Structure 1
């Protein structure tokens, strides 16, 4: 699950703070998922299952906050289809993972949109013949910079409480992904 810094980070101090505050949680997720071999069908299935437990809940949560969020494209159905093509059950999702707050929703969306960047790298590691619709749901041209601009503006224009909610939403989302990766033993 990778995110990328750059010029947007320099313009938006809120983005720089979000990356700094969530870096440790982000690195823990990367470490937890690094053990999955995406060329091995069993390991790849475990990887997708761990993602499915979180993604469905996170997207359902984001749907309740859609009016206050930048436009985003869900991927849970793509992930379910990948699991079904592999003959795997779609796991139950975790319910009520996040407090109801537009700021928290922005933090959750930050992690999910950032994971599309990681998906671009990871999809190339999936063995030929295995489904990869979920990991191949990359950003369309310009989507990531537009999202970062909107998030940065939200952070820079928010009071301390709303900024904190974004930080906590991102950290909580990273923690859910890590927990579910570790659960797949």
Structure 2
């Protein structure tokens, strides 16, 4: 089984290695979130609550590391507003989930920025009349490839410890989303 500890032991690009090592955690998130029916108001509310439980925590962490990250756009307020429009309580962000490490923050951001791609697909599944600002917060033209280029450069120029931190941040973020969804399913 691939683990974060094995980062640096494989040849190839840092980004390909990050994807390879975090793939199982990503697939587990996709599986647990596939149980929500976005056309059903109650299930969609639970879906958004699960996202809020993870996203608000992750973005709170990222805000503390904004000076070392490429530009990014928070979606917390969009998600909170969608929940408010549905009359669903907004969960509080959790603290101390992620260790304090700049490389960790880049891994967290990788997962959050990647989730925007899924939002494009999922927003079309939301029932008519339900709020979808959070899922509709797509990347602007060129933002995703620019972020991936930045991440690739960072990973390829970093030492093994930095690469491990980025991967650990990604895996922890996927796990945070999976656990949050599991508490709603």
Q: TM-score range by the shorter chain?
A: over 0.9
The TM-score, its normalising length taken from structure 2, stands at 0.93
Instruction: Report the secondary structure of 1:176's partner residue.
Output: helix
| Superposition deviation, residue 46 in structure 1 | 0.1
Q: Deviations over 1:105-148 (max 9, x none)?
A: 00000000000000000000000000000000000000000000
2:38–2:127 CA contact under 8 A, matched in 1: yes
Which stretches of structure 1, 4 residues or more, deviate above 3 A after TM superposition? none
Corresponding residue of 1:56? 56
Q: Check conservation: 2:60, 2:93, Cα contact below 8 A.
A: no
Give the total of aligned pairs: 174
Task: Kindly indicate whether the alpha-carbon contact (under 8 Å) linking 2:116 and 2:135 is maintained by their aligned counterparts in 1.
Answer: yes
The equivalent residue for 2:31 is 31
User: What is aligned with 2:125?
Assistant: 125
Structure 1 unmatched runs, 5+: 1-11
Q: TM-score, normalised by structure 1?
A: 0.93
Tell me, what secondary structure is at the counterpart of 2:82? helix
Q: CA RMSD in A?
A: 0.8
Mapping of residues 60-79 of structure 1, within 5 Å? 60-79=60-79
Answer yes or no: is 1:134 the counterpart of 2:140: no
Deviation at 1:170, TM superposition (A): 0.1
